[in-house]
Amino acid sequence: KNEVEQSPQNLTAQEGEFITINCSYSVGISALHWLQQHPGGGIVSLFMLSSGKKKHGRLIATINIQEKHSSLHITASHPRDSAVYICAVGGSNYKLTFGKGTLLTVNP
Amino acid sequence: DGGITQSPKYLFRKEGQNVTLSCEQNLNHDAMYWYRQDPGQGLRLIYYSQIVNDFQKGDIAEGYSVSREKKESFPLTVTSAQKNPTAFYLCASSKGGSYNEQFFGPGTRLTVL
């Protein structure tokens, strides 16, 4: 079974700071997902990666398959970025294994 | 607008009662999933369905049951056999496979008194 570890568990930043959230996994995967969960509970998919790097607005996600590691970066952070960010990995079947999440708080 | 709906948002039940959580999608997705979220833990898979009239147990299926009679619907029943049913339940759908984006519903918070 794949083990997914996220760091840090909690992160507090000032508005405008550059933020990095890390995700490591133990077994080879077919895809890695980054998700965002707001206080109300709803979850939104941010990225799905199998290699390289993806960018969407101020968010950048990278993955290193050899090192079994991914990072989510947020540039010019804003209070509206405050949420729980979740890493999930998938193998050859339909199942995803989820990390416990990183709680990000961005203060104005 | 396409999406996934779950109802109700909050649900209260007495211990020993079965309760059914609704999940409907109009994204024309083949695959649907039920997850449970507890404080301090990652999402855990209860059941998933790759196609109509077929479903498989996830990692924590004991005390739960599902059906998939229509492509759009994947209801979850929390039975009295589930020892700790109080949790936040999320439904999701995708085109299929772990390499496809999953779309999540808003969730149902179940409290068993």
Closest by Cβ to A98, choosing from B43, B101, B105: B43
The confidence band for B99, taking pLDDT boundaries of 50, 70 and 90, is confident
At B57, the pLDDT band (50, 70, 90 cuts) reads: very high
Kindly tell me if the per-residue pLDDT of B1 is higher than 70.
Answer: no
Contacts of B98 in chain A (CB under 8 A): 29-31, 89-96
CA nearest B42 in A: which residue? A100
Q: Which residues of A touch B (CB under 8 A)?
A: 4, 29-31, 33, 35, 40-45, 48, 50, 86, 88-101
Single-letter amino acid, residue B82: Q
Taking every pair of Cα atoms in chain A, the longest distance, rounded to a whole number of angstroms, is 42
Q: Among the listed ranges B1-5, B51-55, B63-67, which one has the minimum average pLDDT value?
A: B1-5
Q: Is the pLDDT of residue B58 over 90?
A: yes
Mean pLDDT of chain B: 93
Strands (E), chain B: 4-7, 10-13, 19-25, 31-37, 44-51, 54-57, 64-66, 76-78, 87-94, 103-104, 108-112
Peptide bond into B8 cis (omega under 30): yes
Pick the closest to residue B44 from A91, A96, A38, A1 (CA basis). Answer: A96
pLDDT score recorded for residue A27: 85
Mean pLDDT of A14-30: 94
Least trusted range by pLDDT, from B13-17, B47-51, B97-101: B97-101
CB contact, 8 Å: B10 with chain A? Answer: no
What pLDDT, on a 0 to 100 scale, did the predictor assign at position B64?
Answer: 97
Closest chain A residue to B30, measured at CA: A94
Residue B20 pLDDT more than 90? Answer: yes
Task: Reply yes or no on whether the pLDDT at B22 is more than 80.
Answer: yes
Determine the 3-state secondary structure of A79 from DSSP: helix
The bridge status of strand A10-14 relative to strand A102-107 is parallel
Percent of chain B predicted with pLDDT > 70: 98
Q: What integer is the mean pLDDT of A93-105?
A: 92
* B13: Cβ contacts below 8 Å, ≥ 6 apart: B19, B85, B110, B111, B112, B113
Distance from CA of A4 to the nearest CA of B (A): 9
Q: Which residues of B60-74 are buried (b: 16+ CB within 10 A; e: fewer)?
A: ebeebbbebeebbeb
- Residue A33 confidence (pLDDT) above 80: yes
Q: Which pLDDT score, from 0 to 100, does residue A63 have?
A: 96
Pick B48's closest partner by Cβ from A35, A45, A94: A94
Q: A95 and B48 in contact by Cβ < 8 A?
A: yes
Q: How far apart (Å, rounded) are the C-alpha atoms in residues B44 and A86? A: 13
pLDDT score of A2: 76
B contacts of A43 (beta carbons < 8 Å): 90, 92, 104, 107
Q: Which residue has the tokens 């607005």?
A: A57
pLDDT at residue B52 greater than cutoff 90:
yes
